[in-house]
Amino acid sequence: MRLDGEEQEILAGKLGPVRQHALQHQMMVGAFFGAEDFVPVTQAHIMADTESLGEAGVRWLEGLAAAEESQRQVRIPTITDPRGTDFAKAAFLGHTPSMLDLEERTIVAFVKLGVIMTNTCINYQTIQAPARNEHVAFGDTGVVIYSNSICGARSNYEGGPSALAAGLTGRTPRYGFHLPQQRRATMHIRVEFTPASLNEWGALGGVIGRIAGNYWQVPAIEGIEGAPRSDQLKHFGAAMASFGSIAMFHIVGLTPEAEELGDVAQAGLPGHRVTRADVDALQRSYHSDDRVDVVVFSAPQLSLYELRDLADLCAGQQFKVPLLAVTSPQVKPDSDRMGYTRRIEDAGGTVLSGMCFYQSYAREIAEARGWKRLATNSAKLVNILGGYGYQPMLASMQACVDAAVTGKLS
């Protein structure tokens, strides 16, 4: 890779060993993907739940945090994805002291590194959405696909170590979605059904993600009617990213780089048709039981509007099975202030903050609480939780609330 003067100084260790190691890590990844140079980035977003880090990852972070203060601080605004617990509700979740200890150590290390503990996977709704053509280093696949596709910003999937490296060096290797040519469509999807509910938007994203199949594919989608809302696009993108490892899509006439199909696609791209039957089939494929042990709204964290809708559905209800709603630390105080949290919890639900269900020791929660059959309106969550020993089922927010009341998913 071609290095500028400052990068050569970092590599030589003149700015300390932490930044030196960060740049070396970035150069390994950059060389792997054929990056010619680095590109400056303005924000970084770190996925670092302790279930993923483990003791080894936390020690690695603590090693960086032990460096001299001037040498260990991030150089650009660097924020965090959800944590592995909500400390206020850890007993309810069955989280053990050793899990909480790992979390606390991680937070101490990140604070020493100058990282802002936002603990959110919806930073584009709550902290600061990136602007068009802004180069960023974001973790969380849902954040990256939304930022690339809806905002027109430029990011690859940056896992925790790489996002932190970008925060420390202020740059990232220029490959993938930082390059204009990688942002052009590789396939054409004709959608014959415009969803209404969030679970349907997620299921549609899942169907397209499965068709697209890998990170380097960019679907150009036509046939969406009207203008979807941010929450709908959030579930759509998060599911597409989860099912297909997709980092960018275009919706012709809606997303900023694709006013017309010709802006992003050449003639003769491989074409696919997606119908309502495909969306229904994906949802049905998860319906394995009529009974549920737990209802979870999470992945991505809920916006204030989603919590308002949920609170309306919960008003006056009494739940037979636990219902969890997970949001960000930015949204939770507003949910409290508007009375949404109280309406959900008066019905027997629990509103959690700063975590995400699948990033919070989901397997251990299942064992501690005896939860297996799980209903959710998140297509991303059903895709993930099968590997954690759950029987996840996908249904509308209304059907999930009804399931919490009756214990049965109709």
Where along the sequence are the contacts to other proteins (CB under 8 A)?
25, 28-29, 32-34, 47-49, 51-57, 60, 139-141, 156-162, 175-176, 213-216, 241-242, 244-245, 247, 358-359, 363, 383-384, 386-389
* For other proteins, the closer CB: 162 or 335: 162
Helices (H), 149-300: 160-169, 198-212, 230-244, 261-264, 276-285
| 223 backbone φψ class: left, alpha, beta (φ>0; ψ -120 to 50) | left
User: Cα separations (Å) of 240 from 24, 144, 149?
Assistant: 32, 11, 12
* For other proteins, the closer CB: 338 or 368: 368
* For other proteins, the closer CB: 248 or 344: 248
For residue 297, give the 3-state DSSP assignment.
strand
* For other proteins, the closer CB: 19 or 343: 19
Helices H / strands E in the chain, number of each: 19, 14
Q: How far is the CB of 59 from other proteins (least distance, A)?
A: 8
CA nearest neighbour of 297 among 410, 405, 401? 401
| 249 backbone φψ class: left, alpha, beta (φ>0; ψ -120 to 50) | beta
* For other proteins, the closer CB: 26 or 341: 26
Q: How far is the CB of 407 from other proteins (least distance, A)?
A: 24
* For other proteins, the closer CB: 48 or 393: 48
Q: How far apart are CA 118 and CA 18, in angstroms?
A: 23
Q: How far is the CB of 196 from other proteins (least distance, A)?
A: 27
Q: How far is the CB of 376 from other proteins (least distance, A)?
A: 16
Q: Count the Cβ atoms, other than its own, within 10 Å of residue 156.
A: 25
Amino acid at the residue 387: G
* For other proteins, the closer CB: 32 or 305: 32
* For other proteins, the closer CB: 141 or 301: 141
* For other proteins, the closer CB: 255 or 383: 383
Using only the alpha carbons of the chain, give its radius of gyration. Answer: 21
Q: How far apart are CA 326 and CA 322, in angstroms?
A: 13
Q: How far is the CB of 4 from other proteins (least distance, A)?
A: 22
Sign of the CA dihedral 33, 218, 44, 104? Answer: negative
Q: How far is the CB of 179 from other proteins (least distance, A)?
A: 13
Q: How far is the CB of 259 from other proteins (least distance, A)?
A: 28
Helices (H), 135-260: 141-146, 160-169, 198-212, 230-244
Cβ atoms 141, 241 nearer than 8 A: yes
Q: How far is the CB of 155 from other proteins (least distance, A)?
A: 10
What is the side-by-side strand order in the sheet with 271-274?
Answer: 250-251, 219-222, 187-191, 271-274
Q: How far is the CB of 285 from other proteins (least distance, A)?
A: 10
Cβ atoms 304, 334 nearer than 8 A: yes
